[in-house]
Amino acid sequence: MGPYKNLEVIVGNIRFNPHALRQFLKKSHYWLTYKPVEEIFTLEVNDGWGGMKLFEVKNASHENAEKFAILLGLAPEEREDNLWSKFNPTVYLNNDGSEDAEKIRMELLKLGIPFRETCLKSSQGWRFQSQMYEYAGPSYTSDDVIDIIRGIAERDKKELETLP
């Protein structure tokens, strides 16, 4: 928790409990920015569909923003005094109901990798997407994708062990 022993952040007439909030946020990419001149901090998320503002708090001090970000589990950016973030790997699976798609889904669950699932039966079969790469049969087998998934789990082990 760092230097912050109190689990609440009071900004104006709003009392936040970032520790409780982080228990319910899903794995995604979060960042909090602070604008000192305007005294505003903003929490945003990119869940693979572009950045979206979750909320903005006005009349906030840098100390409020920093405390909130750290208690939320965000880390300070090295080159930015007013930016804290947390990245989590997120992948996508189009589950066509096949045995191969189910094997991929089970590996994602076993390794605790957050994923977004669509269940569309398609003539193209299952599809798996990680960052900007897409994998689908028959060019890739489910075993090929499982190897990729295990690589993601190893590479992002630190992020997968934390909240959110």
The CATH number of residue 137's host domain is 3.40.30
How many domains would you assign to the chain? 2
Banded model confidence at residue 82, pLDDT cuts 50, 70, 90: very high
Q: Are residues 127 and 147 in the same domain?
A: yes
**pLDDT tens figures, 8-62:** 677 777 888 887 887 778 778 899 999 999 999 999 988 776 788 989 999 999 9
User: Looking at residue 11, what is its pLDDT?
Assistant: 72
Q: Is residue 143 part of a domain?
A: yes
> Residue 138: which domain range?
91-160
The dihedral of CA 104, 105, 109, 110: what is its sign? negative
Q: Are 68 and 62 in contact (CB under 8 A)?
A: no
Model pTM above 0.95: no
Segments of 72-146 assigned E as strands: 75-76, 83-86, 91-94, 115-118, 127-130, 133-136
- What's the mean per-residue pLDDT of the chain? 88
Q: How many CB atoms lie within 10 A of CB 62?
A: 14
Nearest to 45 by CA among 88, 2, 94: 88
Q: Are residues 105 and 118 in the same domain?
A: yes
Q: Are residues 99 and 56 in the same domain?
A: no
Nearest to 18 by CA among 49, 51, 64: 64
Structure tokens at 114: 């957050």
Q: Are residues 104 and 156 in the same domain?
A: yes
Q: Are residues 138 and 123 in the same domain?
A: yes
Q: Are residues 21 and 63 in the same domain?
A: yes
